[in-house]
Amino acid sequence: MGLKDAAVNARWRLAGHRRPLPDGFVAPLGGLRGLEVGGPTDRFKRDGICPVYPRLASCDAVQWRADTAWHRLDEAAPYAPDGTPAGKLVVVERGELEGLPDANWDVLLTSHVIEHFANPLAELAAWRRVLVPEGWVLMVAPHYAGTFDHRRAVTTLDHIVADQTAGTGEDDLTHLDETLRLHDRARDADDSPREQWEAARRDNLNTRLLHHHVFDGEALLRLLDRAGVQVHRMAVRHPHDTFVLGRFVADGATPDNAAVLAADAPWRRRSPFACDRRP
């Protein structure tokens, strides 16, 4: 880490970006039945920045396979991340959560997952299906400006809508060349040889390593708004996390996220990234 990076890190630590989020991010979820997509994560543990696990009545999990680049879980073992009563892991290869029952969970948890879906609106529709009416979503997504994606352009909502219309699947490699060209490996913990690193991303159907889409704070909000999520809380934390607590609106209703999308929204003023603070 260079002197400039160290100074930036120190600045945002002093500004409180390593302290836990306000309790309002997790208090509404107390006693609820959770389903975690792609977990577990240290962010949700009792000593994490958003300690929701100990507040849940239960937590099940779903992954595209038990053994991924990030987690090695036992499909036959209980799923009990940090203080939650034992749940279960369900392996579902595709993103639409086939086989999972409708209206079975109260809250869906996910951390650094939405960017890995080629068709995020289809995924959000699946989340809505498995949640009770007006179910909650607690999402953490990487803010591109703090990650290895910072050289890429933020994905437009039009592009994501087009993916939904086309039924884009996880075999899509539209963003592969862009990733290989613009990915900043200096910010990536994966230090494998270049040839091996590229091969893993070319084989995305079997690795799921690609970030199909790239989000800043507003792009993530517009995605959730389109999916019918009313945003209750939003925070961007250094070095690269965007936290959102929201709730799907009732069928036939439209969310009103004008305040959180406004140029003077509090989360913008507090964001460590200039792209969020611009009007």
- What is the length of the chain? 279
Residue 269 lies in a domain: yes
Q: What is the pLDDT of residues 64-98, one digit of tens each?
A: 888 888 888 888 888 988 878 889 999 987 768 98
Residue 264 lies in a domain: yes
Residue 28 lies in a domain: yes
Residue 111 lies in a domain: yes
Quote the mean pLDDT of the chain.
92
Exposed, middle or buried by CB within 10 Å (0-12, 13-18, 19+), for 4? exposed
Helix, strand, coil shares of the chain, percent, nearest 5, are: 35, 20, 45
Residue 279 lies in a domain: no
CA distance 129 to 41: 24
**Total of domains in the chain:** 1
This model's pTM is above 0.85: yes
Q: Which tokens hold the place of 185?
A: 């490996």
CATH of the domain at 242: 3.40.50.150
DSSP, collapsed to helix, strand or coil, labels residue 241 as strand
Q: What is the pLDDT of residues 49-72, one digit of tens each?
A: 999 999 999 999 999 888 888 888
Residue 99 lies in a domain: yes
Mean pLDDT of 184-204: 96
Tell me the H-state helices in the chain: 3-14, 120-130, 157-166, 176-182, 194-202, 204-207, 217-226, 258-261, 266-270, 274-277
211 close to 179: Cβ distance less than 8 angstroms: yes
Q: Which domain holds residue 68?
A: 3-273
Residue 16 lies in a domain: yes
* Longest CA span, the chain: 53
